[in-house]
C-alpha cells in the first residue's frame, strides 16, 4: 500500500468527494489530508480496460460538529486519454508515479473497471492487501455489463447484468461491517428473507488490527419491488376510491404488512440464534431512558413545538427506567423501515443491515432490543399514509381520517404478523407484556422525536407528520395549527 501526498491529487479528490451524494460531511469545512493506495486490481488489464485500484482517502474537518477525520473509499480508473463517456465521473488529471499523465475517473461508473472487481471475486483473488472472499453455491456470470445504481446516499451499488449486485461501502473503518456479517450468517442459515451473499472484499488488518471490509457481492433481486413504493401505491388506491374504507379497496396492503411482520420475526429469531443474546439490567435501562430524555431536550431546542409535549414524552421515556425485569437484547437491523424491504414472488426480503450510517461502527454492532426495529417499521407505515395525504390538494378531515385509518390498519397488521397473530381484529399490543409495551411505546416516541428534528432541518413541509404522531402519543391539548405555528 502506497501513500500519495501530491497537492493536486489531494485537491482533486477533495473537490470530487465534497460534491458526491455519498459524502456524509456536507456543510463542514474539509480537506483531504492523506491518500493510501491499495494494489492494482488487475496488473494486466485488457486493451479497453483501465488500470484500477482503490484509494483510501482521509478527510480532515476544519469545523466541529462531528469527528475530526473520516476515511472514504474512492475506487479510481486510470486512463492515458480522456474518456468522453465518463466525463461526469472525472475526478481529476495528474501525474502518476507508475503510469505518467493520467485521467482518473470514479471506477464504479466504468464497466471496464468494475469487470475487474467481478473477475477478482470469481477467482477468489488475494493480493496481500486485497482479499476477495467467496461463499459456495453460486457461479458468477462474467459475461455481463455493469451499471451503477443512482439515488443511494451513503454507499454505491453496481449491478452486474441480471446476476449479482456489488455494494461498495464509501465510508469505511476497521472491523466487520454488520451488513456483511449479518448477510453471511443469514445466507449460511438459508434464510428466505435476505438476498444471498456471494462474497465480500476486505483489506486485511496488520499488526493485530481488524480487517477493513470494503464491499459485498450478493444476489440480485431483479423482480423485486420496493416496499416503500408499494405502500405509497396502496394509499393512492385508497384515496382514489372516494367512499371506501382501507379494508374495502383492491390495493389493501394489510395482508402484505402482516407477511412482512412474519418475515421480520423470523429474521429476528435467526439473528438470536446466530449471534449472542444479552440482557439489559436496571442500570442499562436507566441509561436508555436518560438517552431518550436527553434527545428530547436537544430536539426541543430545534423544534419548539415539542415543548407542549415534553411532559407526556418525558413520562413515556421515564417509564423505561422503571422496568423491573431484565430485557433481552440481540443483533437487529437497527435502521428498519419500508425502504429497507423488497417484495418479490416468494415473499419479503430485508436489505441494508448496516445500521444507521451516521453512527460509529462500534455502536452499530452492539445488541439492542428488537422493539427498536418494530418501532421503526410502525413509524414507516405512518409516514407512507401521511406523505401521500400531503400530496392531495385541498385535503380535509375526510382524507386525514382515511390516511390515519390506513396507517393504523397496516401498523396493526404488521404487529400482528410479528407476534404470530393470524387475525388481528383486536389491538395486537394487548398481547404484549408490560415491559415490552413500555419499550415499544418508548422506541416509537423516540423515533418520532428524531423525525421532527430531521424534517425541521431537511423537509420542513413534512414536519407535521411526526408532530401529529407525537400528539397522538402525548397529547398537548393544542390544535394542529398551534403546533405548526410553534414549529415555524
- Supply the CATH number for residue 462's domain: 3.90.1200.10
| Dihedral angle of Cα 93, 96, 98, 104, to the nearest 10 degrees | -30
Listed residues 219, 252, 285: the one ending a domain = 219
**328 and 461 share a domain?**
yes
Q: What is the pTM of this model?
A: 0.91
CA distance 392 to 225: 24
**266 and 163 share a domain?**
no
Whether 341 is covered by a domain: the verdict is no
**168 and 201 share a domain?**
yes
**173 and 298 share a domain?**
no
**167 and 308 share a domain?**
no
Contact 147, 324 (CB under 8 A): no
Whether 347 is covered by a domain: the verdict is no
Whether 337 is covered by a domain: the verdict is no
Whether 352 is covered by a domain: the verdict is no
**311 and 379 share a domain?**
yes
DSSP letter string, 307-342: GGGHHHHHHHHHHHHT--S-EEEB---SS-SGGGEE
Whether 357 is covered by a domain: the verdict is no
**248 and 147 share a domain?**
no
Whether 359 is covered by a domain: the verdict is no
Residue with cell 402525548: 474
Contact 443, 435 (CB under 8 A): no
CA distance 304 to 204: 48
Please tell me the total count of domains within the chain: 2
Segments forming the whole domain that contains residue 94: 2-219
What value, to the nearest 5°, has the Cα angle with vertex 219 and ends 374 and 109? Answer: 105
Listed residues 219, 253, 272: the one ending a domain = 219
**214 and 242 share a domain?**
no
Helix and strand numbers (H, E) in the chain are 13, 17
**425 and 318 share a domain?**
yes
**168 and 278 share a domain?**
no
Listed residues 200, 219, 238: the one ending a domain = 219
Whether 338 is covered by a domain: the verdict is no
**214 and 273 share a domain?**
no
- Please list, in sequence order, all residues whose beta carbon lies within 8 angstroms of the beta carbon of residue 404, skipping any fewer than 6 positions away: 385
Whether 340 is covered by a domain: the verdict is no
Per residue of the chain (488 residues), give pLDDT as tens.
Answer: 556 668 899 999 999 999 999 998 888 899 999 999 999 997 655 667 899 999 999 999 987 667 789 999 999 999 999 999 999 999 999 999 889 999 999 999 999 999 999 999 999 988 788 999 999 989 999 999 999 988 767 899 999 999 999 999 999 999 999 999 999 999 999 999 999 999 999 999 776 678 999 999 999 998 999 999 999 999 999 888 777 777 777 789 999 999 999 999 999 999 999 999 999 999 999 999 999 999 999 999 999 999 999 999 999 999 999 999 999 999 999 999 999 999 999 899 999 999 987 788 889 999 999 999 999 999 999 999 999 998 887 677 888 888 999 999 999 999 999 999 987 567 899 899 999 999 999 999 999 999 999 999 989 999 999 999 999 999 986 555 554 554 45
**215 and 229 share a domain?**
no
Amino acid at each position: 500500500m502506497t501513500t500519495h501526498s501530491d497537492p493536486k491529487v489531494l485537491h482533486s479528490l477533495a473537490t470530487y468527494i465534497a460534491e458526491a451524494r455519498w459524502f456524509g460531511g456536507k456543510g463542514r469545512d474539509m480537506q483531504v489530508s492523506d491518500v493510501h493506495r491499495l494494489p492494482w486490481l488487475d496488473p494486466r488489464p485488457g486493451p479497453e480496460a483501465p488500470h484500477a485500484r482503490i484509494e483510501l482517502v482521509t478527510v480532515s474537518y476544519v469545523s466541529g460538529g462531528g469527528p475530526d477525520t473520516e476515511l472514504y473509499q474512492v475506487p479510481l480508473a486510470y486512463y492515458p486519454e480522456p474518456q468522453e463517456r465518463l466525463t461526469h465521473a472525472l475526478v481529476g488529471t495528474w501525474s502518476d508515479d507508475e503510469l505518467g499523465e493520467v485521467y482518473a475517473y470514479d471506477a464504479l461508473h466504468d464497466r471496464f473497471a468494475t469487470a475487474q472487481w467481478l473477475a477478482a471475486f470469481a477467482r477468489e483473488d488475494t493480493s496481500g492487501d486485497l482479499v476477495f472472499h467467496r461463499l459456495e453455491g453460486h457461479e458468477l456470470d462474467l459475461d455481463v455489463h455493469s451499471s451503477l445504481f443512482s439515488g443511494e446516499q451513503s454507499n454505491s451499488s453496481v449491478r452486474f447484468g441480471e446476476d449479482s449486485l456489488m455494494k461498495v461501502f464509501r465510508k469505511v473503518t476497521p472491523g466487520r461491517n454488520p451488513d456483511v456479517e449479518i448477510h453471511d450468517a443469514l445466507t449460511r442459515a438459508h434464510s428466505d428473507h435476505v438476498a444471498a451473499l456471494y462474497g465480500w472484499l476486505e483489506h486485511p488488518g496488520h499488526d493485530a488490527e481488524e480487517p477493513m471490509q470494503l464491499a459485498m457481492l450478493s444476489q440480485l433481486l431483479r423482480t423485486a419491488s420496493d416496499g416503500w413504493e408499494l405502500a405509497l401505491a396502496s394509499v393512492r388506491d385508497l384515496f382514489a376510491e372516494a367512499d371506501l374504507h382501507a379494508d374495502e379497496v383492491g390495493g389493501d396492503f394489510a395482508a402484505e404488512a402482516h407477511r412482512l411482520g412474519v418475515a421480520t420475526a423470523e429474521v429476528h429469531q435467526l439473528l438470536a440464534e446466530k449471534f449472542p443474546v444479552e440482557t439489559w439490567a436496571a442500570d442499562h435501562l436507566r441509561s436508555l431512558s436518560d438517552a431518550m430524555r436527553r434527545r428530547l431536550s436537544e430536539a426541543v431546542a430545534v423544534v419548539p413545538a415539542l415543548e407542549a409535549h415534553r411532559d407526556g414524552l418525558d413520562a413515556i421515556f421515564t417509564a423505561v427506567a422503571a422496568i423491573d425485569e431484565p430485557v433481552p437484547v440481540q443483533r437487529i437491523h437497527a435502521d428498519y423501515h419500508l425502504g429497507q424491504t423488497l417484495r418479490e414472488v416468494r415473499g419479503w426480503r430485508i436489505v441494508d443491515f448496516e445500521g444507521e450510517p451516521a453512527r460509529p461502527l462500534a455502536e452499530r454492532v452492539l445488541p439492542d432490543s428488537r422493539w427498536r426495529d418494530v418501532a421503526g417499521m410502525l413509524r414507516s407505515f405512518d409516514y407512507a399514509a401521511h406523505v401521500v395525504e400531503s400530496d392531495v390538494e385541498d385535503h380535509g378531515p375526510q382524507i386525514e381520517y382515511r390516511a390515519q385509518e390506513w396507517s393504523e390498519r397496516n401498523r396493526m397488521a404488521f404487529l400482528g404478523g410479528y407476534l404470530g397473530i393470524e387475525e388481528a381484529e383486536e389491538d395486537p399490543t394487548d398481547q404484549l407484556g408490560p415491559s415490552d409495551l413500555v419499550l415499544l411505546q418508548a422506541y416509537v416516541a423516540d423515533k418520532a422525536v428524531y423525525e421532527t428534528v430531521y424534517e425541521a432541518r431537511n423537509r420542513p413541509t413534512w414536519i407535521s407528520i411526526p408532530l401529529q404522531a407525537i400528539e397522538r402519543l402525548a397529547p398537548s391539548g393544542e390544535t394542529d395549527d398551534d403546533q405548526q405555528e410553534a414549529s415555524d
